[in-house]
Copies of this chain bind each other. A is one copy, B any other.
Amino acid sequence: MLKRYLLTPGPTAVPPEVMLRMSQPLIHHRTPEFETLFAEVQHGLQWLFQTTQEVLMLAASGTGAMEAAVANLCSAGDTVIVVNGGKFGERWTKISQAFGLKPVEIKVEWGQAVQPAAVAAALQAHPHTKAVLVQASETSTTALHPVKALAALTRDTDTLLVVDGITSIGATETPMDEWGLDVVITGSQKALMLPPGLAFIALSEKAWKQVESATLPRYYFDLRRERKEQQKHTTAYTPAISLINGLSAVLHLMQDEGLEHLFARHALLAAATRAAAQALALTLLAQTSPSPAATGVFLPEGINGSQFLKYMRDRMGVDIAGGQDHLKGKIVRISHIGYAGPFDVITAISTIEMALRRFGHPLELGRGLRAAEEVLMDGWPAIG
């Protein structure tokens, strides 16, 4: 009997109460009942995005919302600045290329955050840039980009700041209106603790103005049509009904916890994991600007990362993510996002300690756990 633990930065574990909610009989989506549900989650999403703008729901993965942003804001030949510091930064480039844009890439070493000065310089070199495309939290490298500082560069210009908040919304402070973010995107399978299948996108007034003049082709992802329908609490095309039902349960859980506590919890779990990694003399991938959504850690030299992950998954029941592209086989990524608590950190570190020992790495068992516990105890409420 192998008890399974899903500790990957998406999909993330779904709380049982949410699973139960999604198991309710389907309701039809062209009914007042669905409209009531939809209006309720729309309201909750505005709270979560910290915006007065509409947050549109799409039956798609997060990448669909990234494409929707590009297709609705740009015209062929437009220049966009892409912060490419990982797999998802690279995805902005690929989407831009697929739509005939001219992406100007700011390459950032994997694990590092972009320097705002580099974006400022690119903006200066390309004054007619339509948009800056960036991740708030680059899931592939577990680094956090300084989105607030980037917004300060674009806020009073014609350039839009388009933020992939897929592993930041609900995990770390990304207040759309306060920071002046023009587009914010997220997906259901991260901090929203749902199965994959829903994407979310919100646009600022400035961004909505651009939608009118953009000429890229769009049909399924035409946000003008979606906005019109969603203002009536329905969707242009068939919505992912059970996921939206689950979303209602999730938003209640999140509202019960509160944004401040939600962010503090993610920060605590990430800090405990980093402390454990350091106690085990494992090198962190994101050293200066680590994301609270996940922690990337280099494996010791000589350990085959694919075999290591396979052992943990198949033999120990613990699913932790590996690296992508040139980091494949070299790192592991431990998720803290969504339905995660202190004992998920403990389980992840314990798995890694035992698996490292099993793979021949000399290591004092319990050392990482002790460090994690020291940090976690700061976050436990006091007695009484």
The listed residue (B1, B262, B380, B382) touching A339 by CB distance below 8 A is: B1
Residues of B within 8 Å of A120, CB to CB, are none
The listed residue (B253, B315, B350) touching A373 by CB distance below 8 A is: B350
With an 8 A cutoff between CB atoms, is A381 at the interface? yes
Contact present for A383 and B307 (CB under 8 Å): yes
A residues 2-17 near B (Cβ < 8 Å) are 2-3, 5
A interface majority secondary structure: helix
CA distance A127 to B374 in the complex (A): 61
With an 8 A cutoff between CB atoms, is A377 at the interface? yes
Residues of B within 8 Å of A366, CB to CB, are 366-367, 369-371, 373
Residues of B within 8 Å of A357, CB to CB, are 377
Contact present for A265 and B1 (CB under 8 Å): yes
Residues of B within 8 Å of A265, CB to CB, are 1
A341 to chain B, nearest CB (A): 4
CA distance A2 to B367 in the complex (A): 26
Contact present for B358 and A377 (CB under 8 Å): yes
With an 8 A cutoff between CB atoms, is A158 at the interface? no
CA distance A115 to B34 in the complex (A): 67
Contact present for B354 and A383 (CB under 8 Å): no
Residues of B within 8 Å of A311, CB to CB, are 383
A59 to chain B, nearest CB (A): 25
A324 to chain B, nearest CB (A): 24
Residues of B within 8 Å of A340, CB to CB, are 3
Contact present for A358 and B343 (CB under 8 Å): no
With an 8 A cutoff between CB atoms, is A23 at the interface? yes
With an 8 A cutoff between CB atoms, is A365 at the interface? yes
A12 to chain B, nearest CB (A): 12
A residues 314-336 near B (Cβ < 8 Å) are 315-318
Most buried by B among A23, A265, A373: A373
With an 8 A cutoff between CB atoms, is A105 at the interface? no
The listed residue (B350, B365, B383) touching A358 by CB distance below 8 A is: B383
A307 to chain B, nearest CB (A): 7
* Sampled A-B contacts (12; CB under 8 Å): A1-B262, A3-B341, A318-B343, A343-B350, A343-B351, A347-B347, A354-B373, A358-B382, A365-B370, A365-B377, A366-B366, A369-B369
